[in-house]
Copies of this chain bind each other. A is one copy, B any other.
Amino acid sequence: MSAGKAVIGQSGGPTAVINRSLVGFIKEGLKDNFDEILGARHGLEGMLSEDFVDLASLSESQLYGIGKTPAAALGSVRKKPTEGDIEKLISIFEKQNIRNFYYIGGNDSAETAHLIKEGAESANYDMKAFHIPKTVDNDLLETDHCPGYGSAARFVAHGFQGDDADTRSLKGIKINILMGRHAGWLTAASTLGKSTEEDGPHLVYVPEKTFNLESFVKEVKEVYESLGRCLVAVSEGVHDDKGEYFLQTYANNAGSGLAGKKDSHGNIQLSGSGALGDTLANIISENIESARVRADTFGYLQRSFLADISEVDADEAERVGQHAVVASKTENSGSIILKRQLSDKYYCEVGLVELEKVAKNTKVMPKDFLDENKPYVTNEFFEYAMPLTGGIEPKTQIFV
């Protein structure tokens, strides 16, 4: 362990258990000989403006409370540091004698930790830099899965169980839009509460496959004609074969009449908007006469709902935070990962890989998790994802 202070920040979209990683880090950090444990408000932003919180002085009950709060307790930020930022950061770290840098976030945060490590090296400043993984999108390389995903997946699975019952009660077509721009992990989690094939969702559209509007309409129609209802899970990131988001392509073709929020460049906003669901529902309405069609966008509830956390996920989130301190005793840098053990009972060990291996890139769903012939997942996905949610109790069958 270097002498000096430690600083930690949180970055990117919040999760329901990201603060458990913070708490795991603080608890382990308190056992150690850091001069101080600083929390930076709003990640890099707070580091650049020296807006720090003293984390070593928190009481046990404060730590417990923070661990139970969703979203980033220190505040988050979406910021890619410039070269100038890195230089400024290193000089601030030097001035404050901060020798240990920890960043909780996704692949951008791993990249930030990597840039800081490199910046420190070229300034000949002795400093350690670690990335602690989190993202509801579950799209980081190297780790078995990402803390935050299990709880979001649990919320989505429970949401679909309820919505399946709802769609049986008042029959119709229901389209739900899920988070995950580049990977379908959360969209696929919609299936985890199913007991039978007749339970919804019946169709699952992920960004790993090209989205074709004609096939979509045809597939929804087929289920609806066979069951009298159809529950559909669609990723916000569905796109055409050129990789252009469906909603963007559609907006370009439809002109100004389209639902949705566009920025000054005409780019469509994917999250925090109901536009994709509404657009798909309108198209289905036009193509399937007299069907009752509804759309919901699960939105930020997926990543911040505090009353339905996966305990497995919360526990792992705490352990990756803790392990960042443990790893920094012997290593200079790296990204914390979870490694699934081959055993009857699900268990993940924590481990460490090089920052470069996690930075920037995205892990999409592997081919064997997706059905080859229809928009759906496989049993392999089910077995992979179910333990992360803490287990989803099957829903009782109802009479309709």
Contacts and interface: CB of A to CB of B under 8 A. Distances in A.
B296 A300 contact: yes
Contacts of A226: none
Interface in A330-349: none
Contact of A162 (B16, B42, B274, B277): B16
A49 interface: no
A396 B154 CA distance: 23
A350 to B, nearest CB: 25
A169 interface: yes
Indicate the member of A14, A72, A305, A308 with the most B CB atoms within 10 Å: A305
A293 B271 CA distance: 10
A248 B281 CA distance: 19
A81 interface: no
Interface residues of A, number: 73
B272 A165 contact: no
A25 to B, nearest CB: 15
Contacts of A88: none
B273 A295 contact: yes
Interface stretch (A63-71, A123-131, A180-188): A63-71
Contacts of A282: 261
With most chain B CB atoms within 10 A of its CB, the pick from A16, A395, A396 is A396
A296 B278 contact: no
A300 B163 contact: yes
Interface stretch (A217-225, A252-260, A315-323, A355-363): A252-260
Contacts of A296: 272, 274, 297, 299-301
Interface string A218-259: 000000000000000000000000000000000000001111
Nearest to A193: B306
Nearest to A303: B166
B163 A304 contact: yes
A305 B398 CA distance: 16
Contacts of A170: 13-14, 72, 75-78
Interface of A: 10, 13-14, 16, 19, 39, 41-42, 53, 62, 65-66, 68-78, 154-155, 158-159, 161-163, 165-166, 168-171, 174, 256-261, 271-275, 277-278, 281-282, 285, 293-301, 303-308, 395-396, 398-400
